[in-house]
Amino acid sequence: MNIKILSANANLYSTKRLVEAAKARKHEVEIINHAKCDIVIEKKKPVIIYKGQKLEHTDAIIPRIGASVTFYGTAVVRQFEMMHVFTTTESQALVRSRDKLRSLQILSRAGLGLPKTVFTNYSKNVKEIVDHVGGAPVIIKLLEGTQGIGVILVESRKAAESVIEAFNNLQARVIVQEFIKEAGGADIRAFIVDGQVVGAMKRQGKEGEFRSNLHRGGTASVIKLTDEEETAALKAAKAMGLGIAGVDMLQSARGPLILEVNSSPGLEGIEAATGKDIANSIIKYIERNV
């Protein structure tokens, strides 16, 4: 098969591993910088131009779209879909996953456990917002934040109200969530490929850090999911319409709580923690569907 990986950086671990896995299974593979593609729209004749050449004879694409170029990257994926090319991440699912508020609404509708969350239209009644999530401490998240950036733990009610008011005055969209103390600064990442959990790890934030992101100094270790956690992860990926997903969960006294469903989860942390060849699972997923 001819597989194209949509990635703006050929040197990223995930991109290199996908290239290796595709070549190991005897496929032709090419890295395409989606930000440099030209989309030609014509009646019943969708075309993508890259480096002056039409991208033709493509069997499948693996989108690795960065959050900063979601709009254009999604347009490129949609164009490939119009060309009847299989994609491991569909354009609509990509759009849904990048909208934190919409994602939470979809997960809530699917009956999944979530931290209590409040979103308002720059409400002046900040005391009530804090009350809705059970009081301080609270987590405040920028809707546009990624990889732990724009996520704040606020310890006291007074500080929480001040931070929310400051964001409101800046007209920065935020959501306010309850703080799950028993999680202990750790979360679980379940990696889903084609309706199966192919790997899971527990990420622990460094001392004094409530965010467990690995690039912020967190550590990862392999974990065996409980039946409840595995069911929640699979249900979350399905609700979002994602064939490949990184489902982030908190362990709480009331069961697993979904934090986020990532449509372009990195491979480095999960492969290192589990010792599993996740990239190979993704290539096999393509083979089953093309």
DSSP 173: -
CATH of the domain at 173: 3.30.1490.20
Q: How many domains are contained in the chain?
A: 3
Picking from 126, 154, 179, the residue at the C-terminal end of a domain is: 179
CA–CA separation, 35 and 54 (whole Å): 15
Q: Of 14-28, 71-85, 155-169, where does mean pLDDT reach its minimum?
A: 155-169
Picking from 161, 179, 197, the residue at the C-terminal end of a domain is: 179
> Is 174 found in the same domain as 197?
no
Sequence-separated (6 or more) residues with CB below 8 Å from residue 175: 100, 101, 104, 117, 118, 119, 140, 141, 143
24-83 residue pLDDT tens:
999 999 999 999 999 999 988 999 999 999 999 999 999 999 988 999 999 999 999 999
Structural domain contains residue 74: yes
Could you tell me the residue range of the domain that residue 193 belongs to? 183-289
DSSP SS3 for 269: helix
> What are the C-alpha distances in Å from 196 to residues 26, 85, 104, 272, 278?
24, 23, 22, 19, 12
Q: Of 35-39, 78-82, 117-121, 215-219, where does mean pLDDT reach its minimum?
A: 215-219
> Is 55 found in the same domain as 123?
no
The model's pTM is 0.90
> Is 166 found in the same domain as 134?
yes
CATH of the domain at 77: 3.40.50.20
DSSP SS3 for 77: helix
> Is 210 found in the same domain as 130?
no
- Report how far apart the first and last C-alpha atoms of the chain are (Å, whole number): 9
